[in-house]
Amino acid sequence: MIPLRRPPLTPSLTADLARRTAAIRAAGPSTAAGRAAWRTARQPKAQLRLMLRRMAPGLERCMYCGDNLGTDIDHFEPIARDPLRTFDWQNHLLACAHCNSNQKRDRFPCDPATGEHLLVDPSREDPADHLVLYLESGAYDPLTAKGEATIDVFGLNSRAELVRGRRMMFTVVKSLLGAWHTAGAAGRTREQHEFLDALRLLHHADVLRTVLALRRTPPLADAVLGRSLAAVVQELVTTEPEFDRR
């Protein structure tokens, strides 16, 4: 899971969503009213899905697991909890069918004392404040109660394919970084751009982000990546500013 930038909607779509929310309120907000309104909102859903696909990590990956294709518009706070957020743009995330229908469903754990929700919203906060990814094992450890609930709800560690996929992606990232450096040193600019595109569009974008973050602690980067590859990471963020922001 990586932080995501949510773009603003067009004025016309914003107005359309507001009208639909007003209709749910007028009908007497209920789960049934929210779900019925959502089912029939074909045009705004198509526009929302397009916006979410553009802000999704990698090749339109799920914003929760980072592995599968994002196919569903998930209501971060479920319609069953707050029907008036059915058409709230700030409440929409792109999810794969497994995370949306098998894992999360209507689960929305909250702190019993404060009422604060306990799932990480990658469009509002940095998941790295709540979760730490161990590259060699491919597993997450929670740093906070939010991190713990997020790992549980989305099965980030219990789904073996995710753990194995992140571990394998660490190998892929290291290989691409080395190939990018070698191509650049040899003046093969076209190849170098191809390796950059591959890095941008990888599944499990959290693996690349974790690798890039190692540059902030050079001794750890040397230990995890080796001194030569750690230097390549620093070279990448120096020459390609977009990676410095990750």
pLDDT in tens, 101-121: 999 999 999 999 998 999 999
Do 66 and 91 form a contact (C-beta atoms < 8 A)?
no
Identify whether 201 is part of a domain: yes
Answer with the one of 107, 124, 145 that is the final residue of a domain. Answer: 107
Identify whether 136 is part of a domain: no
Identify whether 139 is part of a domain: no
What pLDDT is attached to residue 242?
Answer: 85
The total of structural domains in the chain comes to 2
What pLDDT is attached to residue 17?
Answer: 97
Say yes or no: 103 and 18 in one domain: yes
Identify whether 143 is part of a domain: no
Tokens of 42: 């074909």
Which pTM does this prediction carry?
0.91
Identify whether 230 is part of a domain: yes
Residue ranges of the chain with per-residue pLDDT less than 70:
none
The SS3 call for residue 241 is: helix
Identify whether 131 is part of a domain: no
What pLDDT is attached to residue 221?
Answer: 93
Answer with the one of 71, 86, 107 that is the final residue of a domain. Answer: 107
Say yes or no: 103 and 170 in one domain: no
Structural domain boundaries, residue 28: 11-107
- DSSP state for residue 48 in the 8-state scheme: H
Say yes or no: 170 and 95 in one domain: no
Q: 197: which residues sit within 8 A by CB, 6+ positions away? A: none
Identify whether 244 is part of a domain: no
What pLDDT is attached to residue 81?
Answer: 94
CA angle centred on 231, ends 229 and 235, rounded to 5°:
115
Taking only the tens place, the pLDDT of each residue in 172-208 is 999 999 999 999 999 999 999 999 999 999 999 999 9
What pLDDT is attached to residue 133?
Answer: 97
Say yes or no: 164 and 102 in one domain: no
Identify whether 144 is part of a domain: no
d(CA 160, CA 141): 15
